[in-house]
């Protein structure tokens, strides 16, 4: 069994987490690296607390106490416009100080976000393309996570 803690961008503070949990179920997006036949436990799900990451100094350490072996910075860190400008600070702090590996991104990037960011060019400009591979390499999964598609959750 693997145990993870998920931190979401506070711009999505009212998010139900539905897309992350759907991706965990189907092992898509960043979660495809975890075997489907092994349990994946989410020990906590919390927002960053708002720019520049009010909860950063406490939340990852707390998630570690609850058993997290890895911290997932949810896809919202990259889906918002612009992507989180503190992303590298989050990664450095969690990996070097808290002592847990970080996964950037959670559920597949919804198709409508992929189209918007490609048109805006910010993913290139902000240097986050390196995190987008597992989130954008499955168009069908991206369609399934796009809440603007007529068949969403049907």
Which residues form the interface with ligand SF4 (CB under 6 A)? Answer: 9-11, 48, 50-53, 77, 84, 86
The CB-of-46 to ligand SF4 minimum distance in angstroms stands at: 11
Q: What region, left, alpha or beta, does residue 79 occupy, with left being phi > 0 and alpha being psi -120 to 50 degrees?
A: alpha
The CB-of-94 to ligand SF4 minimum distance in angstroms stands at: 13
Instruction: Indicate the residue among 23 and 74 with the shorter CB distance to ligand SF4.
Output: 74
Please identify the residue of the shown chain whose CB is closest to the bound ligand SF4. Answer: 84
Q: What tokens appear for 31 in the block?
A: 């979660």
Instruction: Indicate the residue among 26 and 70 with the shorter CB distance to ligand SF4.
Output: 70
For 108-144, give the secondary structure using H, E and C: CCCHHHHHHHHHHCHHHHCCCHHHCHHHHCCHHHHHH
Instruction: Indicate the residue among 23 and 87 with the shorter CB distance to ligand SF4.
Output: 87
- The total of other beta-carbon atoms located within 10 Å of residue 152's CB is 12
């Amino acid at each position: 069994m693997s145990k993870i803690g998920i931190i979401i961008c506070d711009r999505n503070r009212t998010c139900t987490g539905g897309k992350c949990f759907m991706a965990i179920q189907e092992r898509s997006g960043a979660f495809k690296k975890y075997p489907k036949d092994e349990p994946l436990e989410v020990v906590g799900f919390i927002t960053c607390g708002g720019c520049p990451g009010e909860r950063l100094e406490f939340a990852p350490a707390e998630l570690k106490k609850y058993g997290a072996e890895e911290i997932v910075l949810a896809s919202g860190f990259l889906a918002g416009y612009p992507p989180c400008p503190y992303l590298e600070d989050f990664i450095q702090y969690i990996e070097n100080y808290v002592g847990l590996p970080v996964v950037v991104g959670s559920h597949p990037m919804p198709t409508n976000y992929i189209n918007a960011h490609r048109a805006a060019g910010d993913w290139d400009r902000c240097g986050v393309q390196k995190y987008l591979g597992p989130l954008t390499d499955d168009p069908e999964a991206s369609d399934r996570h796009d809440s603007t598609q007529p068949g969403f959750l049907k």
